């Protein structure tokens, strides 16, 4: 069976491309491809599909473009039968013990298999450890479809690199790693992605290599941030400002420019576990990656403890104090709350019977309640505070002056009793010192 005409048939409108999974990754891909070819967008979440159909982009990744897209959004898996090029972009989380949770990708493989047409190419974008696509996904698709991989259909892998909330490094401007099970599939997959990827594609020799690229690049970033977080802890003990140290370090030409912070989200805080899991299966125990994960996972507790210490030193009784946390999403200017480490700050405060008030206009109130049990308070209803923890660097927080911040505290407090915890170091030290407030920065 020939597969080398698929690209041309897509361009000519003779065949359709399908996306399986329409979250922060899949939906932008579907919308971008729809500018050039016929696209079916499938998701098992009917509510999400209905929102897209009604021109509502809850991910805020494409905004108003959702209203004009020609993507055929559907929750009916049988529509996949109409597509010959299928991209799978479902989430790959971890279990409570930090082992890979492959249920979403296995479920997607089953759905694809049940609706697969001969002559199709299937490309996975979901982050997995090397071997998952060929050793786990292919057998499921073969079983459900009755079609032989390499004969009746072909498989490939192209790791997603979408950065939620990033308006600079977008889908089309990030070079895309591509791979296929053989030269024919790799060539065709490259041509299809080249339709939308302006930055170009980067072919690698096999699927396992492409799978490794994704988990390694995110593990590298995780480790570098973990080092910065350790430096932040050490600087705190030395009573010197971490950012002043890093700014000095960054004057050297070969400094990497990483910063300390809360490492959440669906990639950097999760992908390293996929890499260490396969390493364990092969008999190697990670010496660096897992230790980096431990450091990064501890930072929410570290921030909360710092806030409590500052409140005590300011003469407050933390249990009786009003603590306001600004920001819940895992990163700034983005509605994504997946694996938010701000929750670790909240949980640690609750261990001391402190019930913080949490506000975030970017986050979905229903999701925050369902996923974390966090009640999000509208900005206009936030009470005056004894202590403010700015946990996320949303633009609206970043644009506030120090004098505006002071108005958020209780009127009866003296300046030295006002405690500001600036997790993202949004405000200049000289301005904070001039304000008279007690402050702490990560």
Q: What's the pLDDT score for residue 429?
A: 93
What is the C-alpha separation between 421 and 321, in angstroms, rounded? 14
Q: How far is CA 400 from the centre of its chain?
A: 26
What is the pLDDT, as a whole number, of residue 161?
87
All CATH 1.10.1040 domain ranges in the chain, comma separated: 207-297
Which CATH code fits 298-442?
3.40.50.720
Q: Give the pLDDT score at 2.
A: 73
Catalytic residue among 137, 149, 235, 267: 267
What pLDDT score does 131 carry? 97
- Ranges of the chain with pLDDT below 70: 166
HSE-up of 222 (CA within 13 Å, CB side)? 30
Question: Which parts of 239-364 fold into alpha helices (H)?
Answer: 242-249, 271-281, 289-297, 299-313, 342-351
**Residues 6+ away with beta carbon under 8 Å from 159:** 125, 127, 177, 210, 211, 213, 214
pLDDT of the residue at 207: 98
Q: CA nearest 225: which of 265, 256, 271?
A: 256
**Dihedral angle of Cα 388, 394, 398, 404, to the nearest 10 degrees:** -50
What is the value of pTM for the model shown?
0.93
Contact 354, 321 (CB under 8 A): yes
Burial 164-199 (b: 16+ CB within 10 A, else e): bbeeeebbeebebbbbbbeeebbbbbbbbbeebbee
Query: Are β-strands 176-180 and 154-157 bridged in parallel, bridged antiparallel, or unpaired?
Result: antiparallel
pLDDT of amino acid 50: 96
Domain 207-297: CATH architecture, name and number where available: Orthogonal Bundle (1.10)
Q: Where in the chain is the domain with CATH 3.40.50.720?
A: 6-205, 298-442
Residues pairing with 100 in the sheet: 94
- Nearest Cα neighbor of 309 from 389, 374, 254 is 389
Name residue 39's beta-bridge partners.
17
Residue 142 DSSP SS3: helix
Report the pLDDT value the prediction gives residue 296, as an integer from 0 to 100. 97
Instruction: For the domain covering 6-205, report its CATH number.
Output: 3.40.50.720
- Does residue 137 carry a catalytic annotation? no
Q: Please give the pLDDT value at position 54.
A: 94
d(CA 179, CA 208): 9
d(CA 412, CA 414): 7
């Amino acid at each position: 069976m020939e597969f080398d005409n698929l690209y041309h048939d897509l361009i000519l409108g003779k065949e359709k491309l399908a996306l399986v999974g329409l979250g922060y990754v899949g939906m932008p891909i579907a919308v971008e491809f729809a500018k050039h070819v016929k696209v079916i967008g499938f998701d098992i979440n009917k509510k999400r599909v209905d929102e897209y159909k009604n021109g509502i982009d809850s991910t805020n990744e494409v905004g108003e473009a959702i209203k004009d897209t020609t993507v055929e959004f559907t929750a009916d898996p049988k529509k996949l039968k109409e597509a010959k090029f299928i991209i799978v972009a479902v989430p790959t989380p971890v279990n409570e013990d930090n082992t890979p949770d492959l249920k979403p990708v296995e479920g997607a493989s089953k759905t694809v298999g049940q609706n697969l047409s001969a002559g199709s190419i299937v490309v996975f974008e979901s982050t997995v450890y090397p071997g998952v696509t060929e050793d786990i996904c292919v057998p499921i698709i073969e079983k459900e479809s009755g079609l032989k991989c390499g004969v009746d259909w072909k498989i490939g892998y192209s790791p997603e690199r979408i950065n939620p909330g990033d308006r600079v490094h977008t889908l089309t401007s990030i070079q895309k790693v591509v791979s296929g099970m053989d030269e024919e599939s790799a060539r065709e997959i490259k041509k299809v992605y080249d339709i939308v990827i302006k930055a170009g594609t980067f072919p690698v020799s096999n699927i396992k290599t492409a799978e490794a690229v994704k988990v390694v690049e995110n593990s590298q970033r995780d480790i570098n941030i973990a080092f910065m977080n350790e430096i932040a802890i050490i600087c705190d003990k030395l009573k010197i400002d971490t950012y002043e140290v890093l700014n000095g370090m960054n004057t050297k030409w070969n400094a990497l420019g990483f910063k300390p912070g809360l490492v959440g989200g669906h990639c950097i805080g999760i992908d390293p576990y996929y890499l260490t899991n396969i390493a364990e299966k092969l008999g190697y125990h990670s010496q660096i990656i897992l230790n980096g994960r431990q450091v990064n996972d501890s930072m929410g507790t570290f921030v909360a403890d710092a806030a409590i210490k500052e409140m005590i030193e300011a003469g407050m009784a933390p249990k009786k104090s009003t603590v306001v946390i600004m920001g819940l999403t895992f990163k700034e200017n983005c509605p994504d709350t997946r694996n938010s480490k701000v929750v670790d700050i909240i949980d640690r405060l609750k261990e001391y019977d402190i019930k913080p008030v949490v506000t975030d206009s970017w986050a979905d109130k229903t999701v925050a309640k369902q996923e974390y049990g966090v009640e999000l308070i509208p900005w206009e209803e936030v009470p005056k505070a004894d202590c403010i923890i700015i946990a996320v660097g949303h633009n609206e927080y970043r644009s506030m002056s120090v004098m505006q911040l002071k108005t958020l505290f209780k009127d009866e407090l003296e300046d030295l009793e006002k405690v500001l915890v600036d997790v993202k170091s949004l405000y200049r030290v000289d301005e904070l010192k001039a304000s008279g407030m007690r402050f702490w920065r990560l």
